[in-house]
Amino acid sequence: MTPPTIAIVDYGMGNRRSVEKALARVGADAVITDDHAKLRSADGLLLPGVGAFPAAMAVIGQRGLDRVITDCAAAGTPVFGSCLGMQLLFERSEEHGGSEGLGLLAGTVTRLRAPGLKLPHIGWSAVHWRMAGPGATPVPAALGAGLPDPTFLYHVHSFVAWPTDEELLLAVANYGEPFAAVVGKGNVWGTQSHPEKSSTQGLRLLASFVAMCSDRAQGGGTPGGGTHAAAAA
């Protein structure tokens, strides 16, 4: 079977090489690019990120990547954001005076409320998958297939996303307050962690995304059903 091509969106911020190596380890043909044609033809997009939300969106807008990412999501291409990349999927952030995001998921990014604790939050956190229903046992979403509850992932962040739609919240972690650790709906997904730095469990998380991209490349559709969750969802 031909490995799926996953384009790592290159906007000059984030540990792109580490992400590329991690994706290759779990069976993807990974390419770092800001070329619009390559992004549009990929089987999946991964939006990495380290740094400030407004600066990231400024570069993304200057390179015309915002339109490419949203077009791909609307066409059903699996999109995955990690750390800052997850936050960029949302409508807006209050960081450094505020900035509009990609608007693929409904919600706002705010500063992590962690009184008495150091920021940024740096280290491993227990990520708890949400319950499937009243009285049910935790069931990981497609992105967390095969992962334990809790899953331990490595985080570096001072801001967190607050989804407007509770259905977007797939897993939570805690640092001073509970925060969205994994989000997603349809073909748009994100994790506040750095899966490429999260050892075996992080690689398994990436492997689940690669499997989604492979499924779509083979004509099997996108796990989770339908296209992306619009901001109005």
| pLDDT tens-digit series, residues 133-162 | 555 566 667 888 889 999 999 999 999 999
pLDDT of res. 228: 46
Residues of the chain with pLDDT under 70: 131-140, 220-233
- Half-sphere CA count of 192, side-chain side, radius 13 A: 35
Q: Is 194 a catalytic residue?
A: yes
Choice among 20, 72, 83, 155 that is catalytic = 83
pLDDT of res. 232: 30
Q: Is 83 a catalytic residue?
A: yes
Q: Is 166 a catalytic residue?
A: no
pLDDT of res. 134: 58
Choice among 72, 155, 196, 213 that is catalytic = 196
pLDDT of res. 229: 41
Exposure class string for 204-224: b at 16+ Cβ within 10 A, else e: bbbbbbbbbbbbbbeeeebbb
pLDDT of res. 221: 58
Name all domains of the chain by residue range, CATH numbers in brackets.
5-217 (3.40.50.880)
Choice among 121, 155, 157, 194 that is catalytic = 194
pLDDT of res. 139: 62
Predicted TM-score (pTM) of the model is 0.90
